[in-house]
Structure 1
Amino acid sequence: MANLSVNINKIATLRNSRGGNNPDLVKVALDCERFGAQGITVHPRPDERHIRYQDVFDLKAVIATEFNIEGNCSEQKFVDLVLSNKPAQVTLVPDSEGQLTSNHGWDTIKHQDYLKEMVSVFKNAGIRVSIFVDPVTEMIEAAATTGTDRIELYTEAYAHHYQQDKAAAIAPYVKAAHKAVELGLGLNAGHDLDLNNLKYFNEQIPSLLEVSIGHALIADALYLGLEKTIQMYLQQLSN
C-alpha cells in the first residue's frame, strides 16, 4: 500500500489570511497523523505566503510520521532550512520565485550536474531525496545518475486527461514507473490527485510508494470532515 502524505500548505494559507494561529497548523498536522496519514508534507516558499519557515521547526519537533519538505534547492534559505530540520525526505522541485504552484518537473539532463551536487548535500546529512519529474523516460534515466533515492512523478497531466481517457492518461506514467523500478529508484507521485482519479492511478502503478496530496484533500475535508476525508483517501490506496 502506498503511503499518504498530507500536504498542509492550504491550512497555512487559511491561517495566514487572518493572522493569528487559527487554524493551528501543528494541531492539524497531528490530527492528520491521528486520522491515519503516514506523512506530512510542506512546501515553504520564499515569500512565506503559506508555510512559514518557523512552521517547519515547529512541525519537526512533534511529527511522529514521515516529514517531507518540498522546495527549490536553488534557494540557500531552503537548503539551510532542510539541513537544520533533517526531515525523512526532501523533494526537490524546480519552482521559480513567486510561482503559484508547481507546474513542471526538473530537466534532469540540463541540470544533471547541479542535481548531483544537491542530492549529495542532502544525502550526506542522512536525508532521503526525491526529485520532481515529468513522466518522460529520458528525464528518469538522467535522474537516476544524480544519486537520488526516489523520483516524484508530476501527475497534473494524468489528472487533466483522466475523465476523457483514463487509459491514455495513465500510459506514460506506467512506462515511467517501469523505468524507475528498472533503475532502482523509489517512486512517489503528486499534483491534482483526488478521490476520483487516485484509485486507478494506484492500481495501475503497483510500485508506488507515496502520494503527496494537499489541495484536493483539504477541499474535500470542507464538506466531509478531515478524519473522514483522510480515511477515504487511504481507502483509494488500499490493495
Structure 2
Amino acid sequence: MQLLVNVDHIATLRNARGEGYPDPAEAAKVCEQAGASGIVFHLRKDRRHIKTEDVYRLKETVKGDLDFEMAATDEMLAISKDVNPELVTLVPESREELTTEGGLDMETVFEDFRDRVFPAYANTDIAISLFVDPKEKDIELAAKLGSDAIELHTGTYANATTESDKETELQRLKEGAELAHTLGMKVNAGHGLNLQNLPPLVNTVPHLNDISIGHALISSALFYGLDETVKKFLTIINNTNK
C-alpha cells in the first residue's frame, strides 16, 4: 500500500493570487522526500487549479508514480499520451461541481471507452484506472474493458455521519475491493480521506494499492507543515493491520 499525494490545491492557492507560488512541482518534491510514493493531479477542462504547464513540470520533477486524473476527452487523451505518466485515472467531470462527486457511470460510458478511449492507449506503457463507486456492476464492466485498476470512490464513506453508515460504506468498499482483486485489477482508493477516517479504511478494505489524498493533506499541512503531514499519513498506512 502506498501514498500518492494530490497537489491540485497547491495550485488552487497559487491561482488565488495569480502569482507563481506555491509551485505544485516544488510541493511534489517535498512530498516525495517525505516518503510519498508518487503524485496525483487532475487537469480539468476549465484549468481551475492545475494548468497544462504544471503537468509537464510534474512529469520532469516526480521520481515515483505519476497519476494523471482526467475526463476522457480527446484533448486529455492527447495530453496524457504526450506526458506519458505511469497511470491515467479516468473520472467523471462536471463544470458545476466543486470536486469530483462520484464514480463513473460505467453503463453509460462503456461503449465509448471500449471503442475510443482504451484503444488510444493500446500502444503505450500507460496503465488505466477507472474511478468507480463500489458497485458490483461497475466493477465488472471495468474488468470487461480490460482496465488495469480501479480507484474506489471513498467519498460516501468519508461523508457518512453515523457509525452505522460508516460501517455500511466500509463493507461496500471491502466487497468492491475483493471483487476487483478477484477480477485481476489493482485496487486504488481516494476521495475525502483524512487523518481521522483513513485508519478504519486501511484496516478494513483489503488489497489496497494506491491511496490518493489531496485536500485534507494539503489543509493539514497548513498546521503541521507539508513534510510532517505526509509522514502522519504514511504512519497510518504503514501501521495497517493488512
Same fold (TM over 0.5): yes
Q: TM-score when scaled to structure 1?
A: 0.95
- Give me the whole-angstrom Cα distance separating, in 1, the residues matched to 2:17 and 2:231: 29
C-alpha displacement of 1:65? 0.6
Structure with bigger helix share is 2
State the distance in 1 between where 2:234 and 2:64 align: 15
* Conservation of the 8 A alpha-carbon contact between 2:8 and 2:41: yes
| RMSD between aligned residues | 1.3
Alignment of 1:95-114 (within 5 A): 95-114=93-112
The equivalent residue for 2:23 is 24
Equivalent residues, number: 237
Aligned partner of 1:201 in structure 2 is 201
Q: What is the SS of the residue equivalent to 2:61?
A: coil
Q: Is the 8 A contact 2:3 2:37 kept in 1?
A: yes
Residue number in structure 1 paired with 2:180: 180
Cα separation, 2, equivalents of 1:141 and 1:6: 28
Q: TM-score, normalised by structure 2?
A: 0.94
1:169: Cα distance to partner? Answer: 2.5
Instruction: Show CA shifts across 1:188-223 (max 9, x none).
Output: 011001111111111112300011110000111111
Partner of 1:78: 76
Map of 1:54 onto structure 2: 53
1:224 and 2:196 equivalent? no
Following superposition, the deviation at residue 79 of structure 1 comes to 1.2
Q: Which residue of 2 aligns with 1:43?
A: 42
| CA–CA separation in structure 1 for the residues paired with 2:70 and 2:197 | 25
Q: Distance in 1 between matches of 2:75 and 2:57?
A: 17
Instruction: Could you tell me which runs of 5 or more consecutive residues in structure 1 were left unpaired when the two chains were aligned.
Output: none
User: Which residue in 1 is equivalent to 2:62?
Assistant: 63
In structure 2, distance between residues paired with 1:120 and 1:64: 27
Once residues 68 and 176 of structure 1 are traced to their aligned partners in structure 2, the CA distance between those partners, rounded to angstroms, is: 21
* Whole-Å separation in 1 of the counterparts to 2:193 and 2:32: 20
Query: CA contact under 8 A between 2:8 and 2:24: conserved in structure 1?
Result: no
Taking the TM superposition and a 5 Å limit, the aligned residue runs for 1:114-153 are: 114-116=112-114, 117-153=116-152
CA contact (8 A) 1:221 1:229 kept: yes
Matching residue's letter, 1:77: E
Aligned match of 2:169: 169
Kindly provide the CA deviation profile for residues 144-198 of structure 1, in whole angstroms up to 9, marking residues without a partner as x. Answer: 1011100001111111126533322301111111110111111001100111111
Tell me the residue number matched to 1:3.
Answer: 2
Deviations 1:82-111 (A, max 9, x none): 011000000000112343210111121232
* Distance (Å, rounded) in 2 between the aligned partners of 1:30 and 1:123: 31
Q: Secondary structure at the match of 2:234?
A: helix
- Unaligned stretches of 5+ in structure 2? none
Matching residue of 2:191 = 191
